[in-house]
Structure 1
């Protein structure tokens, strides 16, 4: 980045690459919340297609891995895995920012503790207990973490959607909860979701 550009908000990441021609560098920025939103949008589109082909109400069927397209199954797992990863990262950053003395914030031990040693569930509990988030946000984050755990542990079972609206509401919670954490971490809203 040159001196005229504002620094990225904490919830965004960037990487600098050498240009293909070897002259200069290219800065690539990444918005994890935007990526989560894109995954959700893909899932919503798939579900709308499945819903359009839904059999009559009198037939009780379960949509499972034999009828869910492989791409949808992969997007579902990717959505929840990425979301929990972002929850862990943003929670660690928030906790370090809010409760660790500034002289110790860059310590490897501090970073290891908050970024590696704490589970997502424990991190969001700490956010609640320190007053960084309220019970409503905590509940949303915890529900996403639980859903991710359920999906990951169903790898040998069929992934089913029993109610399209409930399924989409749960998936949308991934976008909403990481967005709320990003706004908290950044101190303001840098996205138009």
Structure 2
């Protein structure tokens, strides 16, 4: 059995993966288009127990759509915890327990430069957290950056708000500095 891990977040780790038994002697990491659509992707939450120096599997469930990117949501006193699941055309908030999934479509440009039938995905993110608030900046593969905030009622997320922020060349990494500046390590061009 081979497990293909797509992305990992930290502390309470959430991992979307595909487990697939490969019967031939050469397992390939690339799954052809048709087979990829038929394969079930699973989201699994793990927690690091620092006292025992041990990883504990907390929860696992199949995903409705294939996830390409995860963003961890601050927990404890800083936020509701959980994970933002980025999949084609949608952003979904998921948490353990009784919290219902909150789903939001990814906005598209009115005059799309690319093929309008092609799905939109997020490729990069930055999390900004202070003592009183937090927000996320997520970038699409076309370079559009959106500011994402989570509306909560008694530490239960009720709504995802997306607001257009800016357009820059597609990035491999983004970071909001303590001074308030956004650093974008773009794939092409000057940083």
Structure 1 and Structure 2 fold alike (TM over 0.5):
no
Q: Which has the higher strand share?
A: 2
- Bigger Rg, which one: 1
TM-score (structure 1 length as normaliser)? 0.24
More helix by share: 1
